[in-house]
Chains A and B, each alone.
Chain A
Amino acid sequence: MAKKVLVVDDDPDMRNAITIILESQDYKIITAQDGVEALASLRAEQPDLMILDLLMPNMDGFAVLKTLQDGRWSKYRETPILILSSVREDASRRRYELETALELNVDDYIEKPVSPDILIQRVNNLLKDKGD
């Protein structure tokens, strides 16, 4: 059965591009345009991977990560997360640590823009790691 990937990004073109890239690898893609939608989809669709943008209106990626720390979301803690953001990794990590006093615990981090080949490779890696 095709693996489900949740793509969270406020930029419709970015969502579209990622969808095209990953659909070429026979992944099933669900999209969300902010953190609120992302959490709803996470619950409803139970994806195998979440590709998460950080800077978004309404609820940003940092808030999503923080929410997932909550005990009520422990069910989804095993879902791998790939951050895809235009912010540099070290800057994001520092910001998250400053805001939450927690380490930014994600499975992978890619800085935008990303070439299709690299995105495919990193997504494959994450989904392979999960076993089965």
Chain B
Amino acid sequence: MANKSSSRSRQEEINEPELTPEEAALVLRIGVFVNMRWLAIAGVIIASLLADLVLNVRFPLTPLYIICAVMVAYNFILFLQARNLKVESSGSTPKSLAIRLGNLAPLHLMPKRGATLIEKARFIGNIHIALDLIVLIMLLHFAGGIENPFIFYFIFHVMIAGILLHYRVVYFLATAAILLVSLLVGLEYSGVIPHVHLEGFASTELYQQGNYIMGVLIALASCIYGSAYMVTQISGELRKRQREVVTLKDIGISEKVKELRDITKELTKLEEGREKLLHFLGIVAHDLKAPLSAVQSYLQLMVGGFVGTISDKQREMMDRSIYRINGLLNLISDLLDISRIESGQIVSEVEETSLLAIIEDSVEDAHALAEIKNIKLTVEVPKTLPQIEASDIRIQQVITNLLSNAIKFTPEKGNIKIKAINKRNLIQVEVADTGTGISSEDLPHIFEDFYRGGDQEKAGTGLGLSIAKRVIEAHGGRIWAESPNPEDNKGRGCKFCCTLPKKLAQISGKKEKVKPGKKQ
């Protein structure tokens, strides 16, 4: 709740207040009442003209028009006030209103300094209604008093008050209206003030007929009280609903805020856990590497004949041991790579890099291997290839991996082609071969961790392509494979493609959701 009030006051400060439904309805209604008053003024003029010209009712019109002019004047002032009605309307009462207030002392409920919008609107409403009451009584007096059937228009007056004002004020006004009408009629009846006769409409004696007067007054009083009751009940209910809506909305918002806070906390915890795990993975990998390196060194010493001669059988076993330990060391080095990439280290490795140089280096490394198998290695890289923002070590790792895979799975005398295509915002690198290809069952999984294709003999750690995918995606690129190689006319082999953006607007070492590749 404390939060709520502070946010409310902040809204006021920025002078862009948001009205509650109740406030908005009240402001809207004050506007409606000003408009209704324009209509009423027009109505009075039209009705008096009609009475005069059509019904041939004779009575002096000048006082009516003077009253109408007064109404126009104060309605205009109220119209301006209603337009300025805002949550923070500088806390003071407008001057014009304050002057008027002196005359209306019995009816006004002066709002305190810094009053709420509802209090202010109600105050303005009080003024409206009090003015209207006086004007109506005067209109009635100059338009025939008890003779005029428009006497029942006091009901409208009370209904409007009921919608706009506090119910106590409404009952007060209803009583005041009845008393004032009774007073007017009574004074006219007893001859204290002159009676205006509606010539040609009612009998000249009507205002002297006590029974008729009593009947009309009783009917008027019951109608006024009845409508006061009805309207205050209905609008009271409505206001309650509006407040409930606000409360419910606030509860809803505070619940959502709490939910969000919980989720954020949970996410932070998960992220911390992930970082701990990566750190742990890095340490474990290192601690595995140290003893293995020592064992490897001893084995190599023995095989190398540094510590005396060994039998062929022993040599064979030691060679196997060295081979197996190399496999383990490769796995550890892959795990270290993953922990480095996943913890976002690529960010610190990024610099302006020549992809051309990287590809040339990778090809040079791969050349010896390709030559052993008599594989033709073709390079199609434009010399004009622009510099890109990338980690050269990691990209070289990926390209070397793709090339050595291609060599591994391409039989003797096959072809391997590496190509770089300069596109608008990115460079696409393709490694295509005429090798054994990838089965359609394997194809969707080859970038997964520890996934080994059907040919278990040739498979390495099962992490090479998953690391490649991590590296490319950390650069904001995409990697995918197609098999068979669409460029091979015999339908053999496969093609690996990866894209690298030239500029890294926002590089991320963390795993992001990727759109699936064309054929994955």
A38 CA to B271 CA, complexed, in Å: 40
In the complex the two chains form, what is the Cα distance from A100 to B235 in whole Å? 76
Quick one: which of A14, A87, A88, A117 contacts B304, CB cutoff 8 A? A117
User: A17, A20, A117 — which one has the most chain B CB atoms within 10 A of its CB?
Assistant: A17
Q: Tell yes or no: B263 within 8 A of A by CB.
A: no
Once A90-B393, A91-B340, A113-B329 are accepted as A-B contacts, the answer to whether A17 and B297 lie under 8 Å apart by CB is yes
Prevailing SS type, chain B contact patch: helix
> Is the Cβ of B306 less than 8 Å from the Cβ of A24?
yes
Q: Which residues of A contact B340 (CB under 8 A)?
A: 91
CB-contact partner of A13 in B289, B297, B349, under 8 A: B297
Q: Do A17 and B348 touch across chains, with their CB atoms under 8 A apart? A: no
- Give the nearest-CB partner of A117 in chain B: B304
Q: How many Å lie between the Cα of A17 and that of B295 in the bound state?
A: 9
How far is B296's CA from A86's CA once the two chains are assembled, in angstroms? 13
Are A11 and B294 within 8 A (Cβ)? yes
Interface size class of B (residues with CB under 8 A): 20 to 34
Q: Are A116 and B293 in contact (CB under 8 A)?
A: no
Task: Tell whether A68 is near chain B: CB-to-CB under 8 Å.
Answer: no
| Chain A residue at smallest Cβ distance from B294 | A13
Q: Within 8 Å CB of A86, what residues of B?
A: 286, 289-290, 293
Given contacts A21-B306, A91-B340, contact A112 B289 (CB under 8 A): yes
| Interface membership of A55, Cβ < 8 A | yes
Tell me the A1-48 residues at the B interface (CB within 8 Å): 11, 13-14, 17-18, 20-21, 24
User: Is A130 in the interface zone, CB < 8 Å from B?
Assistant: no
Residues of A contacting B2 in the complex (Cβ-Cβ under 8 angstroms): none
How far apart are the CA atoms of A83 and B63 in the complex, in Å?
112
Task: Report how far A113 CA is from B290 CA in the complex, Å.
Answer: 9
Once the chains are docked, how many angstroms separate the CA of A86 from the CA of B290? Answer: 7
Cα–Cα, bound, A56→B520 (Å): 46
Is B172 in the interface zone, CB < 8 Å from A? no
A94 at the interface (CB under 8 A from B): yes
**Which residue of B286, B296, B306 is within 8 Å of A113 (Cβ)?**
B296
Whether A116 contacts B349 in the complex (CB less than 8 A), given A14-B293, A20-B306, A86-B286, comes out as no
Of residues B295, B301, B333, B349, which shows the largest number of chain A Cβ atoms within 10 Å of its Cβ?
A: B301
Q: Nearest chain A CB to B509's CB is how many angstroms away? A: 14
Bitwise interface map of A from 89 to 115 toward B, beta carbon under 8 Å scored 1, else 0: 011001000100000000000001111
A93 to B474, CA, bound (A): 21
Cβ-based interface call for B54 (8 A): no
Does B300 reach chain A (CB closer than 8 Å)? Answer: yes
Among candidates B286, B301, B333, residue contacting A17 with C-beta atoms closer than 8 Å: B301
The reply on B298 being an interface residue by CB < 8 A is: yes
Scan B85-97; emit 1 where CB is below 8 A from any A CB, else 0.
Answer: 0000000000000
A17-B301, A20-B301, A91-B340 given as contacts; is B349 within 8 A of A113 (CB)? no
Taking CB atoms, residues of chain A closer than 8 Å to B290 are 11, 14, 86, 112
Q: Verify if B356 is at the interface (C-beta below 8 Å from A).
A: no
A residues near B333, Cβ cutoff 8 Å: 88
Which residues from chain A contact B298 at a C-beta distance below 8 Å? 13, 17
Asked if B292 CB lies within 8 Å of chain A CBs, one says: yes
A86 to chain B, nearest CB (A): 5
* Least distance between B346 CB and chain A CB atoms (Å): 11
CA distance A115 to B294 in the complex (A): 11
B307 proximal to A (CB < 8 A): yes
Contact B300 A20 (CB under 8 A): no
Residue on A nearest B303 in the bound complex, by CB: A116
Q: How far is the CB of B323 from chain A (nearest CB, A)?
A: 13
Measured between beta carbons, the chain A residues less than 8 angstroms from B306 are 20-21, 24, 116
Q: Which residues of A contact B300 (CB under 8 A)?
A: 113, 115-116
Q: List 21 A-B contacts (CB under 8 A).
A: A11-B291, A11-B294, A13-B291, A14-B293, A14-B297, A17-B297, A17-B298, A21-B301, A86-B289, A86-B290, A88-B333, A90-B349, A91-B340, A112-B290, A112-B293, A113-B297, A113-B300, A115-B300, A116-B300, A116-B306, A117-B304
| A residues in contact (CB < 8 Å) with B | 11, 13-14, 17-18, 20-21, 24, 55, 86-88, 90-91, 94, 98, 112-117
